[in-house]
Amino acid sequence: MASGSGAAELLGRLAAGLDAAGVPYMLTGSFASTLFGAPRTTQDIDIVIDPSLGSLEKLLRCFPEDAYYVSRDAAREAYGTEGTFDLVDFASGWKIDFIMRKRGPFGEEEFRRRRLVEVLGARFFVATAEDVIVAKLEWAKFGESERRLRDVAGMLRGQQGELDLNYIRHWVEALKLGAQWEAACARVGLLGFHVRSGHSATPSLPLAPRLSPCGTLLAG
């Protein structure tokens, strides 16, 4: 997890650039999972973005070449393929992975549910705990499964009693992530966690996450 004024200042610059360019976004990945109780040392920040081609060009102009490394060609290619491109901040050495929002049902739903949160003093949209869990399970299906399942287990511990497990199970079934979900649950003994009463398995239920002290909910 990032710490200190450097990370806070970087997040502030990222938020300012994204807002100025008019690019909707949300924080996800290991930085987000740390907010929900799964601390891990990282110098990568994963941000899902949903730009138009025009707003992507505006975003790229927010990051001058003397302060950042970014391949404009890679960014344009990522836009056309729902891929990713990297930005490196020279001042801090941090790498930001910009991930184009996926157009499938889960990609749309997780983005709809994002929350405006204060992270290290910066206002940032963050994916909900449930959606970070589902995304990590999906990534675990394709590689680095042990690290990602460890993150999921940490979030299950950190958010004990607060998670909408029916929502998670809906997407586990829809995305065929049963093996990854069972492996993560086995690490924490999921039977000790409570399914929130009154929640169906529909994917449209809002949930305000309980954040650790480094993140404060600002708006629904």
* pLDDT tens-digit readout, 33-79: 888 877 666 678 999 999 999 999 999 999 999 999 999 999 999 99
Torsion of CA 183, 189, 192, 198, to 10 degrees: 10
Q: What is the assigned CATH class of domain 4-219?
A: alpha beta
The pLDDT value given to residue 44: 86
Chain centre distance of CA 37: 14
Amino acid identity, position 35: L
pLDDT digits (tens, 9 = 90+) for 161-211: 889 999 999 999 999 999 999 999 988 876 534 434 334 333 333 333 444
Residues linked to residue 205 through DSSP beta bridges, in sequence order: none
Span of 19-23, 83-87, 131-135, 201-205 with lowest mean pLDDT: 201-205
Candidates 170, 175, 162, 181; CA nearest to 203 is: 170
Structure tokens that stand for 99 in this block: 């991930």
What is the C-alpha separation between 92 and 85, in angstroms, rounded?
A: 18
Identify whether the C-beta of residue 23 lies closer than 8 Å to the C-beta of residue 51.
Answer: yes
Whether 112 has a pLDDT exceeding 50, the answer reads yes
Please indicate whether residue 110 or residue 212 has the higher confidence score (pLDDT).
110
Candidates 190, 183, 113; CA nearest to 148 is: 183
Say how many CA atoms lie within 13 Å of 74 toward its Cβ. Answer: 10
